[in-house]
Structure 1
Amino acid sequence: MSSVAPADIPARRGGASLDVLRFLAAAFILLFHFGPSAPLNLRLVSPIFEQGWLATDFFLMLSGFVLSRAYGDRLTRSQMRPTHFFLKRFARLWPSHVVVLLTFAAFIVTATLLGFPPNHGDHYGLNALFAQAFMVHGWGIIGTPTWNIPTWTLSALLVCYGLFAVYARWVHDRPLIILAGVAVAVLAMGHILAETVAKHAFADLPLAWGLLRAIPLFILGNLIERATASLRLSQALFWPLVTFALAGAVGLALLPRHLILDTVILTLLGTVLAVSGAVTFREMPVSQRLGRASFALFLVHSLVGAVWFSLTPKVVAMLDLGFAAQWALWATALLAAMITAFLFDAVVDKPLSAWVSKLSFVRGGV
């Protein structure tokens, strides 16, 4: 057993704050997906619950930011081969993703055999299952949400990882003015391609255009990390800045959608990233657990929702539950998803990740 206490572990700049933000983004995605199943659709309670794209876009930018900070220098200094980097990232995502997907498939098959087929059977086709198993479902191959819906972003991120391994050295040590110019060009190109090719707003491009949405946002996260690599903020300055940026993004998201507003919102989300990555808080076991569990929550909440909300109508009818009791039952679904995520992280994801990382082809690369 290690003799190093948590208080002795050097605090990483952005470590605790980014871990907590990662979990909050996953929690908002959970609310977005569970909201329509509430006794009163949450999207009727407040329009903010219609804006799931905020958390998804933030997650994609955050992924670019964190990967740049963790691996950018090693890739630039040739301390890690691009193929090794990609293998490590694939090995981090794929095993746990497949465990959840197979569990999802077992649930759907079992429920169907017992006479309780899913409400949207077309969402659970064999072709879509194979696409998810090989993590290509976010590449425009599947145009409609299927199976474990949120994982389209993980599929798209695999492409982002491959690209990042190639271009990391070209952006790592660039001057601020160059990074800012590239960021403006990337965001402008994202808007232009979305409007002209996809005929849709860039910020919330649908599944069929997942790569067109994910790649620019991931690159923006890389560029923000590089542009703010030397930035240091005190905790006293961090709180008003992050509050202003978050409140501004949420407030603007409630207004009618417009390209300029979307751009300002993405800029504010980027500001949240920048200031969160520049502040140092003492890392606690709870913040580290939240950071790890965010991935698990992202993976398992759709499965928990599928099971829970398939049973909810039967429980409500059987017990003749009133409106307040139905809300309590729905809130318990949120708690169940959270508990499942922490259990999955501890029992499945963490040991599986540790085992896979020891495999020779992952540890040494190719």
Structure 2
Amino acid sequence: MSALDDRRADLPDLTAARGVLALWVFAYHANLHLDFAGAGGVIGHGYLGVDGFFLLSGFVLTHRHPDPPQTVSAYAQFWWKRLVRLYPTHLAVLLLLAVAYLTASAGGIRPHHALRADGHELLLQILLLNGWGFSRGWTWDYPSWSISVEWAGYLLFPLGAWAAFRFDRRGTIAALAVGVACLEVVDRTSSSGLNLSYHGALLRFFPEFAAGILLVRLLHLLPRRPPAWIPGTAGAFLLALGFALGDAVTVAGLWCLLWTLATPRAPILTSVPGLVALGALSYPVYMVYTPVELVFARIWATTHLNPTESSSYWLVAMFASVLLLAWIVATLVERPALRSLAARRPDL
């Protein structure tokens, strides 16, 4: 039995992939301030790292829960588990930002954008609704829009996975084709491609989340899985082609690379030092970027420094700060929450 066929087995290359995606998203956001790589190319498309997370989320959940029981108690148990994984880190960063805004306000410092400390927007983030089209803009911990749409996916996952595993091979391929077509339509009709966050994020998320689910189903249906280098080669080709042809093509490449990483005959990314550890830390790394960015932006504004003039220095300083804060949040919040969950529900 391969690791893919054992739902309890870890897939370390996928954990390492999370590390790569976290680096890609961080580089994209840092580049908006530091301009070390221009607006195009690999770094300029780093917002698509989030799409990689959406694919991974659907895949890993389905690997762990290939045929979720269809009962109210099973639904509630699944949702509770997902909420405990998401919410403590999300809430911790929101509280940190709230303290920062209150402290700054007491010192006479106002946010550069009024929505950054808006009460209505804070409530939306607390309720994980800020990625569902209700938010007015980039506020509070703005990367949490993706956590909001992930939560929407989790709410529908038990039913979606149950339906997907009723497809035969032809139905699975047809469903994947429909998802690709939907994503292509979103890409072509959006002025910013798939770089959609507060408005249109669900249209970006659901085809990708479903594609991750359907990949697990397809791999279970194939009588003989092709060597990993075949989808890997296709993925690398589509990834490079997508930078010129459109975001949906790039996501198709990421999907093929996910296939490769899920079915390797030998470790691929796990051989790179530090990637698995970074992948395990990827969620807090993603979530704590906002408070780190706010601190550095304040430093630049106060000292009248131009960060683009020493972009390498500031890039290292920002990444080190993100790693440190992510480690603190993981140590004090995320891991204790998960340990508590495991202690209370050893079957999960």
Is 2:146–2:197's contact at 8 Å kept on the other side of the alignment?
no
Aligned residue for 2:211? 220
Contact kept in structure 2, 1:32 and 1:50, CA below 8 Å = yes
Aligned partners of 1:351, 1:22: CA distance in 2, in Å?
21
Aligned to 1:6: none
State the partner residue of 1:149: 142
Secondary structure class of the residue paired with 2:112: coil
CA contact (8 A) 2:219 2:225 kept: no
- Which structure 2 residue ranges, 5 or more long, are not aligned? 1-5
Kept after mapping to 2: 8 A contact 1:14/1:279: no
Measure, in 2, the Cα distance between the counterparts of 1:45 and 1:321: 16
Kindly tell me: are residues 95 and 280 of structure 1, through their superposed partners in 2, closer, same or farther at Cα, counting changes over 3 Å? farther
Compared CA separation, residues 206 and 322, structure 1 to 2 (3 A): closer
Structure 1 residue 264: deviation in Å? 2.8
Q: Distance in 1 between matches of 2:158 and 2:143?
A: 24
Please state how far the C-alpha of 1:23 moved relative to its aligned partner: 1.4
Distance 1:91-1:244 versus aligned 2 partners, 3 A rule: same
1:290 aligns to what?
278
Identical residues among aligned pairs (%): 22
> In the superposition, relative to structure 1, how do residues 356 and 307 fare at CA in structure 2: closer, same or farther (>3 Å)?
farther
- Aligned twin of 2:3: none
Among 10, 18, 23, the alignment partner of 1:22 is 18
Q: Which amino acid letter does the alignment assign opposite residue 245 of structure 1?
A: G
| Cα separation, 2, equivalents of 1:275 and 1:342 | 29
Matched, 1:160 2:153: yes
Structure 1's 80 and 230: CA in aligned 2 closer, same or farther, altered over 3 A?
farther
Unaligned runs of 5+ in 1: 1-9
Question: 2:334 is matched with which residue?
Answer: 349
Aligned pair 1:32/2:37, yes or no?
Answer: no
Q: Is 1:254 matched with 2:254?
A: no
**Matched-pair contact (CA < 8 Å) for 2:228–2:259:** no
Q: Which amino acid aligns with 2:30?
A: F
Residue 162 (structure 2) pairs with residue 172 (structure 1): no
Which digits, 9 at most, give the CA deviation of each residue in 1:292-340, with x for residues without a partner?
Answer: 20111111122211122212343565xx99944x531332111211232
Cα separation, 2, equivalents of 1:68 and 1:226: 8
Letter paired with 1:205: L
Contact 1:42 1:49 in 2 (8 A): no
Q: Determine whether 1:314 maps to 2:292.
A: no
Distance 1:268 1:126, change over 3 A: same
Q: Deviations over 1:14-65 (max 9, x none)?
A: 7111001111111111111111221xx1352753332133211111111111
The TM-score with structure 1 as length reference comes to: 0.80
Q: SS state of the match for residue 72, structure 1?
A: coil
8 Å CA contact 1:14–1:276 kept in 2: the answer is no
Deviation at 1:189, TM superposition (A): 3.3
TM-score by length of 2: 0.84
2:194 equivalent to 1:203: yes
Query: Does 296-305 or 326-335 show the bigger shift?
Result: 326-335
Whole-angstrom CA distance in 1 between matches of 2:307 and 2:90? 36
Contact 2:15–2:276 (8 Å) recurs in 1? yes
| Paired AA for residue 229 in structure 1 | H
The structure 1 residue matched to 2:176, chosen from 183, 186, 191, is 183
Higher relative contact order (CA 8 A, sep 6+): 1
After TM superposition, give the deviation of residue 163 of structure 1 in Å.
Answer: 1.1
Alignment root-mean-square deviation, CA: 3.4
User: What do residues 103-122 of structure 1 show as CA deviations (whole Å, max 9, x unaligned)?
Assistant: 01111221232233232233
The answer on 1:88 being equivalent to 2:84 is: no
Preserved contact between residue 307 and residue 314 of structure 2 (Cα < 8 Å): no
Q: Which position in structure 2 is the counterpart of 1:111?
A: 104
Cα distance 1:166–1:306, how it changes in 2: closer, same or farther (>3 A)? same
Distance 1:188 1:210, change over 3 A: same
Q: Is the 8 A contact 1:172 1:226 kept in 2?
A: yes
Moved more, 307-316 or 85-94: 307-316
Structure 1 residue 334 corresponds to structure 2 residue 319: yes
Q: Which residue of 2 aligns with 1:275?
A: 260
Instruction: Name whichever of 269-278 and 187-196 sits farther off.
Output: 187-196
Q: Work out which of the residue numbers 214, 235, 242 in structure 2 matches 1:245.
A: 235
